[in-house]
Amino acid sequence: MVVFESNKGRRIIGRLERGDNLLESLLTTCEKFDVKAGFIRGLGAFETAELTEYDIEKGDYRPPFRLEGLHELLMLNGNVSFKEGRPFLHLHALLSSVKPGACTVYGGHLLSATVFACEFEIVTSDDVELVRKADTATGLSLWQESGKLKAKS
């Protein structure tokens, strides 16, 4: 188990514009506010999205499932940490399509999205360092024991 306690954090609240690249915009926000570790949540709607999931047999992510057209973003959930020295987003999304007599929900590991509207919050943990490295047990890049940042005096 890898576990950290954080006693220092901020809340960054924002709205993305129509046409924004979700991942690029959130990474830019993380860099602007010097977010090194935190959790992200949001809601709104996407005009396109690519979802996948991990295939344990192949040890890799499945080919993306691409959604075109407006879908409601029921839930964006994810985190920010560091991988190979750069901020890295791990995002999951639930999206819906409602038509007369049918409601379909799509979900998965989010690879990309074009924003129609998105209100989001990033809750930071400014006193921990979350670093992703290869995990031999899963084949994934997961948080490793890298230490808690020292408090500034």
Footprint of Zn ion (CB under 5 A)? 109
Min separation Cβ 152 and Zn ion, Å = 33
Q: Which one, 52 or 146, has the nearer CB to Zn ion?
A: 52
Q: Which one, 88 or 126, has the nearer CB to Zn ion?
A: 88
Q: Which one, 117 or 120, has the nearer CB to Zn ion?
A: 120
Task: Annotate 20-81 with DSSP letters as a single string.
Answer: -BHHHHHHHHHHHTT--SEEEEEEEEEEEEEEE-EETTTTEEPPPEEEEEEEEEEEEEEEEE
Position closest to Zn ion via CB: 109
Q: Cβ contacts of residue 116 below 8 Å, gap of 6+?
A: 18, 44, 45, 46, 47, 70
Min separation Cβ 50 and Zn ion, Å = 13
Min separation Cβ 149 and Zn ion, Å = 25
